[in-house]
Structure 1
Amino acid sequence: MAEFTERKRWLFLGLPFTFTKYHIKEDMLTIDSGLLKRTENDCYMYKVQDVELVASLAERLVGIGTVVCYTGDTTHPKLILSHIKHAKEIKDFILEASEQARMRRRTLNTLNIGAETDDMEEED
């Protein structure tokens, strides 16, 4: 079972002097943030619909990147894992783990392409 724990880093030299931690497991993604007021946000992997890797020139120079997860989660439809090391590996892991989680739960991401309107016209 693979698991990642990563810290948000400063863009300056990629140093981990922030109070945000990302815990990525096969079934859940958790973001812990804050020093005085702690916030913990969870998202089940099966809710992750798409993953994007963004790396600016400054991020690439210090070996970090930002992973954006587009989810079906109510509280955070867009989870951003900012300035993390191993961003490419984490993005690939989240993409694969989310697909496996959907297969285990037998859930499916579908797009509404207007199939309902065709059925309704035939009934009339």
Structure 2
Amino acid sequence: MARIRPPAEAEANLWAGAPSFVTFLPVLVLCVPFVWLLFPIPVLVYYWLQWRTTRYALTSQRMRVTSGVLSRRVEEVELFRVRDIELHASFVERLCGVATLRIHSNDRTAPTLAFEGIARAAWVKEALRERVLVLRETKRRIV
């Protein structure tokens, strides 16, 4: 006899964001002194477009990173697959009030997902942790 699963709860958006300008600063600092060579201009434009088109989302069921300049790439990780959450802030990121959140998971296609240069990273980390625990407990009860 097959088990009937309870209906899945509606997926709700918990947080959405984008990388801070701080993530673009290293490229800017390296390219601006050599802009007279004209080579850094396309590099600056590409990295600026990449920075502007990256979006992060945390929902009640999954995490999503959407990026891409000419084509669109969407990476998702189901929250119940999350193994570890790492918060890292370099000296410059700490001065600017941002951090990088790395999520390690059991997912085969995206074992590590990074939210780079996000504001309120500690809050996002705690919201993610709480949601992961809730989903694991729910999954444990179903199985």
Q: TM-score, normalised by structure 1?
A: 0.77
What is the correspondence of 1:14-29 to structure 2 with a 5 Å cutoff? 17-29=51-63
Of 58, 62, 81, which residue of structure 1 is paired with 2:115?
81
Secondary structure in structure 2 of the residue aligned to 1:96: helix
Equivalent pairs counted in the alignment come to 103
Runs of 4+ displaced beyond 4 Å: none
Coordinate RMSD, CA, aligned: 1.5
Q: Which runs of 5+ in 2 are unaligned?
A: 1-11, 26-50
Sequence identity percentage: 26
Give unpaired runs (5+ residues) of structure 1.
Answer: 108-124
Asked whether the equivalents of residues 10 and 18 of structure 1 are also in contact (C-alpha less than 8 Å), the reply is: no
For residues 10-53 of structure 1, give each alpha carbon's deviation from its aligned partner in whole angstroms, at most 9, with x where no partner exists. 314xxxx5211111012110110012110011111000111010
Report the structure, 1 or 2, having the larger helix content. 2
- The answer as to 2:10 corresponding to 1:6 is no
Equivalents in 2 of 1:87, 1:23: separation in Å? Answer: 13
Does 2:111 match 1:100?
Answer: no
Q: 1:61 aligns with which of 95, 102, 114?
A: 95
The normalised TM-score by structure 2 is 0.67
Q: Find the aligned partners of 1:57 and 1:25 in 2 and give their Cα distance.
A: 29
Task: Render the CA deviation track for 1:61-110: whole Å, top value 9, x for unaligned.
Answer: 11110001010011111111111111110111111111111111118xxx
